[in-house]
Structure 1
């Protein structure tokens, strides 16, 4: 399904042109891929999940620098709740679990942020404090700094994830849908865990 040509949507530097390419070339793939992920998650956890594909409707001038689908467990919307994303920057695919800056009841997450730290570092995820930037850092060396910043700086996010660069050998060869799916499902346990913990 996914292939190196996915990144060609970013070659168009106009708002309308890029949005048209995203709608034509990526959104149908997101719909199929995301619906399958949603089904797998509901089967595995026996809970309800909701999917949304980014439409970039608020953009009036500049083309979107990235595009994505999101899955969470709150039908009212995903941005103010723990959520998972799968998408593309111009040079990479990304799969992330995020607690954004304006998440509802943010202080309630602070006491549990460090509980999964050892597992996150052992699984070699990457981390960041900014969901609007493509660069992420190694959890082994930077997770504590990312948590500390999230606790102190109200404008910061907490992002945990995986990236696959478009120049990676597996992308050049093709046939990596399974890798993307497996990484998404592996990361999903943090979505479910955080929701359960903060609900206690």
Structure 2
């Protein structure tokens, strides 16, 4: 397997001021890695689950003023988008890498997904201290 690593220059893209300048830095320094991770993990998830997964690298296309504070690649079984179904994400903030499983407000079966989360809450509470759970 190819090693996909993020270097300090990748994280420093988030210190660039201004929307246009930060987007340029993200496109040059971070998007290539996210595209590679997307290709790799889409194949991995397909092999593991038997379902086709599509990578969706954040474009931040609707932004017009504020530069993004994070960016990511999301994996979902819908080739048109990821927000309407449970999905995995790998992404960066200025100071950390994150890997998460998420259900967004656009999800059609959100109540079922939330219940599955609630049913496993004890397991989440027992994660090691260097893990964090975001309820955002």
TM bracket (short chain): 0.7 to 0.9
Matched, 1:42 2:46: yes
The partner residue of 2:71 within 67, 80, 83 is 67
The runs of 5 or more residues in structure 2 that have no matched partner are none
Could you list the per-position Cα deviations for residues 35-75 of structure 1 after superposition, in whole angstroms to 9, with x for gaps in the alignment? 11111111122211111000111111111111111011222
Structure with bigger helix share is 1
Which residue of structure 2 lines up, in the alignment, with residue 146 of structure 1? none
Structure 1 segment 1-200 matched on structure 2, within 5 A: 1-124=5-128, 125-130=131-136
Q: Distance in 2 between matches of 1:98 and 1:53?
A: 15
Q: CA RMSD in A?
A: 1.7
**TM-score, normalised on structure 1?**
0.59
- Residue 117 of structure 1: how far off its partner (Å): 2.7
Deviations 1:166-190 (A, max 9, x none): xxxxxxxxxxxxxxxxxxxxxxxxx
- TM-score by length of structure 2 reads 0.84
Q: What is the aligned residue count?
A: 130
**Cα distance between partner residues in 2 of 1:63 and 1:5:** 17
- Separation (CA, whole Å) in 2 of partners of 1:18 and 1:75: 27
**TM-aligned CA distance change 1:110 to 1:84, over 3 Å:** closer
Contact 2:56 2:74 in 1 (8 A): yes
